[in-house]
Structure 1
Amino acid sequence: MEVVFFSVFLSISPAGYPCALVYRRVLFHQPATVVHLFHTISGLALAAFNFGAQLYHSAVCILVQFLMLRLMGRTVTTVLSSFTFQMIYLLAGYYYTATEEYDIKWTMPHCVLTLKLVGLSFDYYDGGKEPSQLSSEQKNSAVQSVPSLLEVCGFSYFYGGFLVGPQFTLRSYQRLVAGELTDCPGKPPNSAVPAMKRFAVGFVCVVIYTIFSPYYPDNYFLTDEFEAQPFWYRCIFMLLWVKIILYKYVSCWLIAEGVCILSGLGYNGVVDGKHQWDACANMKVWLFETTPLFAGTIASFNINTNAWAARHVFKRLKFLGNKMLSHVTTLLFLSIWHGLHSGYFMCFSMEFLIIIVERQAQALVRDSPLLTKLANSALYPLIYVVQQFIHWLFMGYALVPFCLFTYDKWLQVCSSVYFCGHVFFLTALLIMPYLRKALVPKKERSQKKQE
């Protein structure tokens, strides 16, 4: 796992920040062509440094995407062709490079690129619609004219988002190149301090991960020593393991976000008189650390990818007329996008079950006078501690398959803790209607049914 950070730091920390400084100080007032060329060359250099000749995979997909936009125009065929080609190429890459370990290979940045290129086809398609047909979100991202090949390359290889994200639209990139993403019109943004703050938080997360990850390795789950430990120990280990392992992702995203902020791409306008730099935020660190809810962790983690899935999958499935089906389809897409291992499907199916139960539990607390009173009482700090224990224990339970990949491995670990996550949430799902009957007054229940 440490290889991940070595690669990311070599690519983002020493290279991304100097590239952003060069753009600010030398290229900010240069023509768009020069800026696109700089972003393309710097991104290709990162790709070559990390993956050598395998950078041709990204080049092929970018070229094909450009040709689709040029030759097929603003049509549903373009969108479907883009989605099909890019996903098949990515999945073929997963298939031919798959191992049972977490490897640094060309498919790592390519999964980020796949979303970027598919999103581009959606945004180009939206650019041909009447404004009245678009949501405010779609209006902001719609591409009004076909981009040049160099522009698509600059957008795709931009050094702040090529390796680990974040996701951003071509319109945002175009505004960056035009010098519009700044708090000082006509001048480079005053973003050095916000950028360094995110870098500093990311660096702290790296330090935490580096110090503690050797004590919580993934492969320990598969040892006889782990099997020999008592049940409570296995659960506590799983809880601590997931807290440490997630800092790996948190640190990467925070450091990459700092690059985007420094360049100006992170500029998000003015709110309450203050300039915002969170347009590329992939983490809400405070929420991530303090929320006792699974939904809160999801909302604070990998924000831009989740927003991409909501915008281009969930919301575009509105025609199905069923939010539950749209939710399931979105999670299925995310499972496939992550890879072909069964662990991804198990992780996202567990997420779906947990979120359903959590929503029902929140509604129960809200509608029950007794539970509402209890939640607002002096006992809440104790309730909060119990919530956090349940939250992180079962977050670990859900993420074990995600990190161990294959059926034989994650099944062994889930068996070792007696499938406690499935038992807990399936039981909760079954008894929730009875708890509602017992704890919610009849009048409240009848009002909810009418609504």
Structure 2
Amino acid sequence: MNMLSFLTKNRNDIIYLSLLLFSVGIGPRYRALKTVQAKKWVGTIVGLVLILIVSGYSAIHPILSAVLGIVAIKVATVRYCHIVAFFLMFGYLFFFRLADKFGLPLSSGQTNLIEMIIVLRVVGVAFEMNGSWLAVGKAKKDENKEQKEVKTKDDDFLEIINPSTEDLFHYSFNYIGLLTGPYYRYRTFDDYFHLPYSKYVDCFGFTINTLRMVPLYISLYLAFSNIWPLEYVLSEDHNNRNFLYRMLYPWALFAAFRQRIYSGMTLAESVCTSAGLGAYPVQGRNRTGHGPTVGYLKLKQMSEEEAKTTQYDFNTVESMEVWGCETVVTLRDSMKVWNKAVQYWVAMVVYKRFPIKPLKIHAALFVSVIWHGFHAGYFFCIYFCPFYLMAEDIYYKLYYKDATGQKKKIIGFIMWFLRSHSESYQAAAFLLLTFDRIWIYYSSVYHYWYGVWLAFLILGLVLNQLHRSKRPSKLKTDGDENKEEIVSN
């Protein structure tokens, strides 16, 4: 009876997990398809079938939003297609999540995940098209001025990216990465069909290596979520526990959440490695989301013989550095290894392209929040990060950066503990979602972490000021000593 209850309660998650495993399993057969057109159409048809199985009647939302986005990209000129696509796709995302206000049923969380990926793809390709147009125009101007050294660091954008309507359709609905990511650029998608890498990379080896930890992640998730359930923090029994227990309970909640994310992201990466999408030669110094960062055009010209013997990686589709998530010392570094593909999208689409420099970080955070959803928990969680970073950066520079030996290890452990505790406290809001639920838990611990953070920040500012006031006299002394040394020589 308990097993039946468990299966019923987690029916949607089990179906979703099964579809992810199915997507991993069909990778070798998909990769073996002979023609580019066959691959594109089979990938798209499988993607559409997955959407229908997951979403049922709600499948209309991801399909309609993608079609509208593609039409908007093609109707708007390359100068404005990225802006039009951005506002259209996020506008539809608002409508999708507020469907009940319009008398329509709300979709499942799994359909929401698919819609989120569709938004990333359609908006991302529009920015790629506009970015390539701008970069090529800039390169031509530089050549006219005989300043060829001013070219972009990576010569990847020295070709126009302008996919046909059909290719935009295939990119939007291809099954690889459709269920839960990772995000990859249109350029990566196009390279998959036209470059020989997927034929020669050890897809099976990479997939097995990626999948081997998934059973552990799933087991830990089930254990943590059953021993320390989320709803317990809202109970009277929890409020009667001692303060230390209430304070540390989010560690268990965040641990369970991390295992869930690790398992989902790892399976999603395995879908890519199984099919061979995202494989590039290691000499391209490949980065998550972006792909090769150096010598891209040389890689495109690689012969079949070279492709057979070169070494590959799947860094382009790596979403999580699990060991890094668990061990890095600072929140700043933690953010770099968590959901890297989406962070890349936010950086390229929002942060780097937002016109008002002082507001770049706020624009990036705001878009990240509304992409996740409208719940207060996302604001509490994501918008607290820069405030914690203000304090963390001060202590990092003052005490950790130049420390060595045992001292560095001790300070590193303290910073790791504070970083982990802050993330757990923020994650509680992310998981509880609504303001009233968040307020119940935060009130049970007297909102203490905001007070601790503020005290740390004020103390850090004072210590930093004292450190700066000592520095000039030290520099002056060093300067005098240097003068004396020069004179004596």
TM-score tier by shorter-chain length is 0.7 to 0.9
In the alignment, is the contact (CA less than 8 A) between 2:73 and 2:84 conserved in 1?
A: no
CA distance in 1, matches of 2:384, 2:328: 19
Return the offset for 1:220: 1.1
Partner of 1:107: 112
TM-aligned CA deviation for residue 105 of structure 1: 4.3
State how far apart, in whole Å, the 2-side matches of 1:156 and 1:180 are.
Answer: 22
> Among the aligned pairs, what percent are the same residue?
20
Q: 1:122 aligns with which of 127, 130, 142?
A: 127
Aligned residue for 1:432?
A: 460
1:359/1:383 CA distance change after superposition, 3 Å: closer
Contact map agreement 1:342 1:406 (CA 8 A) in 2: yes
Which of 252, 258, 266 aligns to 1:240? It is 252
* 1:50-90 Cα shifts (integer Å, max 9, x gaps): 111222212212222222232223122x2221111100111
Contact 1:222-1:412 at 8 Å conserved across structures = yes
**What SS class does the counterpart of residue 127 from structure 1 fall into?**
helix
Per-residue Cα deviation, 1:412-443 (whole angstroms, up to 9, x for no partner) = 11111121221121222222221123345622
Cα 1:410/1:142, change in 2 over 3 Å: farther
Equivalent position of 2:230 in the other structure: 218
Q: CA deviation at 1:103?
A: 4.9
C-alpha distance in 2, partners of 1:126/1:138? Answer: 13
Aligned to 2:202, what secondary structure does the other structure show? coil
Residues 157-306 of structure 1 aligned to structure 2 (within 5 Å): 157-182=173-198, 187-271=199-283, 274-306=311-343
- The CA distance in 1 between the partners of 2:156 and 2:170, in whole Å, is 20
2:422 corresponds to which residue?
Answer: 394
Whether 2:26 is the aligned partner of 1:19: answer yes
**1:313 alignment counterpart:** 350
Does 2:98 correspond to 1:72?
no
Alignment deviations for residues 141-168 of structure 1 (CA, whole Å, 9 cap, x no partner): 6873532333222212222211111111
Measure the CA separation in 1 of the matches of 2:462 and 2:214.
45
Larger Rg: 2
Distance in 1 (alpha carbons) for counterparts of 2:107 and 2:66: 26
Q: Is the 8 A contact 1:19 1:42 kept in 2?
A: no
Unaligned runs of 5+ in 1: none
Give the direction of change, closer, same or farther, for the CA distance of 1:165–1:258 in structure 2 (3 Å limit).
same
Q: How far does residue 96 in structure 1 lie from its aligned partner after superposition?
A: 2.2
Shift of 1:213: 1.5
Cα 1:43/1:436, change in 2 over 3 Å: same
Which has the higher mean CA deviation after the structures are superposed, 383-392 or 423-432? 383-392
Residues of 2 paired with 1:82 and 1:142: CA distance? 23
In structure 1, C-alpha distance between the alignment counterparts of 2:45 and 2:385, rounded to whole Å: 40
Aligned length in residues: 427
1:422 pairs with 2:460: no
The within-5 A match list for 1:365-404 is 365=399, 372=402, 375-404=403-432
Alpha-carbon spacing, 1:145–1:294, altered in 2? closer, same or farther (3 Å): closer
- What one-letter code is carried by the residue in structure 1 that aligns with 2:62? S
Measure how far apart 1:384 and its partner are.
Answer: 3.8
1:255-314 CA-to-partner distances (Å, cap 9, x unmatched) read 110110121213132249742222100001221121122122211110000011011111
Q: What is aligned with 2:5?
A: none
- Superposed counterparts of 1:138-153, under 5 Å: 140=156, 144=160, 146-153=162-169
* CA drift at 1:22: 1.3
Equivalent-residue separation in structure 1 for 2:154 and 2:372 (angstroms): 25
Match of 1:84 among 83, 87, 93: 87
Counterpart amino acid of residue 27 in structure 2: A
1:221 is aligned with what amino acid?
V
In 2, the alpha carbon distance for the partners of 1:173 and 1:446 equals 56
Structure 1 residues 366 and 204, CA, compared in 2 at 3 Å: closer, same or farther? closer
Give per-residue Cα distances to partners, 1:376-405, cap 9 Å, x unaligned: 243544444433332222211111111111
Worse overlay, 222-231 or 232-241: 232-241
Gaps of 5+ in 2: 1-8, 140-150, 286-309, 476-489
Cα distance per residue 1:196-226 (max 9 Å; x no partner): 1111223321121122211122111111111
Shift of 1:137: 7.8
Instruction: Provide the rounded CA distance (Å) in 2 between the counterparts of 1:62 and 1:143.
Output: 25
Kept after mapping to 1: 8 A contact 2:211/2:266? yes
Q: CA RMSD in A?
A: 2.6
Distance in 2 separating the partners of 1:72 and 1:140: 24
Distance in 2, Cα, partners of 1:347 & 1:212: 21
Which residue pairs with 1:8 in the alignment? 16
Residue 51 (structure 1) aligned with residue 55 (structure 2): yes
Looking at structure 2, the residues matched to 138 and 83 of structure 1 have their Cα atoms a distance apart, in angstroms, of: 25
Change (3 A) 1:139 1:226: farther
